[in-house]
Amino acid sequence: MSSKRKPDQELQPTASTGFSRRGFLGTASATAGAVGSGLLEQTAEAAPPAVMGPGEAEITLTINGKAAKVKVEPRTTLLDACRERLEITGAKRVCDRGTCGACTMIVNGKTVYSCTTLAVDAVGKKIETVENLTAGAKTHPIVPAFANHDALQCGYCTPGMVMASKGLLDRTPNPTYEQAKAGLGGNLCRCGTYVGIRKAILEAAKELRASGARTTGGSNA
Ligand code: FES
Ligand code: FES
């Protein structure tokens, strides 16, 4: 007798497994169909992702502790939302391409270039602008320290420098001169007031330590 199997024999259940090849394929196909339809149902039930644009939509920004509703396009920057729509004009547009730092704001504790930050990406975050440093009961000491050390000339860079200094003091309450220098590495001053700015940071740090406060004048942030 030949030991070669006839084709039909391959489809019969084997003694060891109880499955035939055809039966197995049928079961697998049914299982795949069930899983597939389950996935389809899940996909149908899942909430569709929020779609915005290309036109304007209303968002809420939390700026200096206050909620502000504003209509923006998805491409609108945080700087434009503040300056053009909300009349919060302390941050300046100078390069408008993330190189000079004149537009610096603090978002969730980090200094950012607001000219390259989308307004929609700032939703749900704490945004602090230079206006906040004089908004509370007490002015933040970095403000008078800039005046005391002649840390500004034309003033184009100043709001950004002040906010970058404030952000540095929040992170490093007792900076060295070198840390003050490195901490403002992302901000440019065409008038060259860097030495005065670094001295202002050290003076403000001293004031903050003396008053026992890490942050003042930012009570709304
Ligand atoms: S205006 Fe934003 S970095 Fe220059
Ligand atoms: S004070 Fe003029 S650019 Fe800095």
- Structure tokens given for 113: 């270039």
Q: How many CB atoms lie within 10 A of CB 28?
A: 10
The stretch 61-83 carries a mean pLDDT of 98
The stretch 61-77 carries a mean pLDDT of 97
pLDDT value, residue 40: 46
Strand 66-72 with 57-63, pairing: antiparallel
150 C-beta closer than 6 A to ligand 2: no
Tell me the CA–centroid distance for residue 79 and ligand 1, in Å.
9
> Of the candidates 159, 101, 152, which has an alpha carbon nearest to the alpha carbon of residue 133?
159
Ligand number, closest to the Cα atom of 156 = 2
- Structure tokens given for 143: 């403000």
Q: Is the dihedral of CA 80, 84, 86, 89 positive or negative?
A: positive
16-27 exposure pattern, b = at least 16 Cβ within 10 A, e = fewer: eeeeeeeeeeee
pLDDT value, residue 46: 77
The stretch 65-92 carries a mean pLDDT of 98
98-134 pLDDT per residue, tens: 999 999 999 999 999 999 999 999 999 999 999 999 9
Tell me the CA–centroid distance for residue 101 and ligand 1, in Å.
5
95 C-beta closer than 6 A to ligand 2: no
% of the chain exceeding 90 in pLDDT: 69
The stretch 174-182 carries a mean pLDDT of 97
102 C-beta closer than 6 A to ligand 1: yes
Burial of 78 (0-12, 13-18, 19+ CB in 10 A): buried
Average pLDDT of every residue of the chain: 84
Q: With DSSP H G I counted as helix, E B as strand and the rest as coil, what are the percentages for the chain, rounded to 5?
A: 45, 10, 45
pLDDT value, residue 212: 81
The stretch 176-199 carries a mean pLDDT of 97
Tell me the CA–centroid distance for residue 170 and ligand 1, in Å.
21
Residue 5 has pLDDT above 80, yes or no: no
The stretch 36-61 carries a mean pLDDT of 72
Beginning with the edge strand found earlier in the chain, give each strand of the sheet holding 66-72 in spatial order.
66-72, 57-63, 126-128, 104-107, 110-113
Do residues 115 and 79 make contact, with C-beta atoms less than 8 angstroms apart?
Answer: yes
Q: Which of 82, 100, 107, 184 to mutate to test the pocket of ligand 1 (most atoms within 8 A of CB)?
A: 100
Residue with tokens 């503040």: 82
Residue 150 has pLDDT above 90, yes or no: yes
More confident residue, 38 or 92: 92
- Counting from 1 in the atom list of ligand 2, the atom nearest the Cα of 153 is 1
For residue 87, give the amino acid letter. Answer: E
Question: pLDDT band at residue 43, thresholds of 50, 70 and 90?
Answer: low
Tell me the CA–centroid distance for residue 140 and ligand 2, in Å.
21
Do residues 92 and 103 make contact, with C-beta atoms less than 8 angstroms apart?
Answer: yes
Tell me the CA–centroid distance for residue 159 and ligand 2, in Å.
10
Tell me the β-bridge partners of 105: 112
Q: How many CB atoms lie within 10 A of CB 11?
A: 10
95 C-beta closer than 6 A to ligand 1: yes
Question: pLDDT band at residue 175, thresholds of 50, 70 and 90?
Answer: very high
- Structure tokens given for 78: 């945080």
